[in-house]
Homo-oligomer: A and B are copies of this chain.
Amino acid sequence: MLLHLSTWLEVETYLEQSKGIILPIGSTEQHGPTGLIGTDAICAEAIAKGVGETTQALVAPTINVGMALHHTAFPGSISLKPSTLISLIRDYLTSLTKAGFTKFFFINGHGGNMATLKAAFSETYAVLAELNLPNADRVQCKLANWFMCGSVYQLAKELYGSQEGSHATPSEVALTQYVYPDAIKQAPLSAEVAAGYPIYGAVDFRRRYPDGRMGSNPALATPEHGQQFYERAVKELSQSYLEFLAQD
C-alpha cells in the first residue's frame, strides 16, 4: 500500500490495525561512469515497495535526496546538509506521529545517510517528547540498510568477491538494471580503480576517486543478478519489519 496512491480515509482505516510505516530513503549522487545518479533512491524505493506488498505495510514516498556532500564535486549530485536532513526527518515524523504512527521503518539505500539518520532519530525522539505529543515515548525508528542484509552481502561476495567494492558497486548497479532495464549504461571502466581511502570533503573525494567508483567493478552487474538481490533484500527486510512491528 503506497501512501501516495492512497486516500486519507484509507490511511485512517490502516491506522486502526497498524501504527507502522516504511520510509524509503536514497540519495542523488554520482555512481561512477556507468551507475545511475538515482541508484540509491531507486534501490530503496523498489525494495520498500516489495516489502510493503509482502507485509501489507504502508510505504511513504521516497526521500530522493540525502546526505551526499562528499559526492558533490561530481556534477548531478545533490545533497542536503546533515542539519537540514535532521530537520526534514523531524518534520516528517512530527506529521506522522500526530496522525498516530509510532513505528518508522527506514529502508535506506545509501551508506552516507546512516550517521545523519541516526542523529535525526535521536533529535526527533527528544523533540516529540518536549512537545508532549501523545505516544511520543512510544515512537520507534529503525534503520534498515538493504545492502547490509546478510543474504545480500553473501550473494555479492559470491558473485563479485573483492570487485564488489564500496561505492558504485555491481550489486546496486545490478538492482537498478533489474528495475530500469532500459537505462543500462555503457562507459569505459579502467581496470584499475581507487580503493581504501577514507572519506573527507568533496574536493578531496574526487581527487582520490577520479571516476567516482570506490574499489568496485560495476561491469559485472546484470539485471538477473539485480533480481536476485531484490528478492533477497525484500525477503529479509520483510521479516525484519514484521519483527520490528511485533516488538513492544
Contacts and interface: CB of A to CB of B under 8 A. Distances in A.
Given A3-B76, A84-B91, A185-B7, A204 B123 contact: no
Copies in the complex: 6
Contacts of A98: 72-73
Contacts of A28: 3-4, 60-61
B8 A76 contact: yes
Interface stretch (A139-147, A156-164, A226-234): A139-147
A123 B201 CA distance: 9
B183 A75 contact: no
Nearest to A125: B201
A88 B138 CA distance: 27
Interface in A18-43: 28, 30-38, 41-42
Interface in A26-69: 28, 30-38, 41-42, 60-65, 67, 69
Interface in A195-248: 198, 200-204, 212, 247
Contact of A82 (B77, B122, B247): B122
A10 to B, nearest CB: 8
A191 interface: no
Interface in A72-117: 72-84, 86-88, 90-92, 94-96, 98-100, 112, 114-117
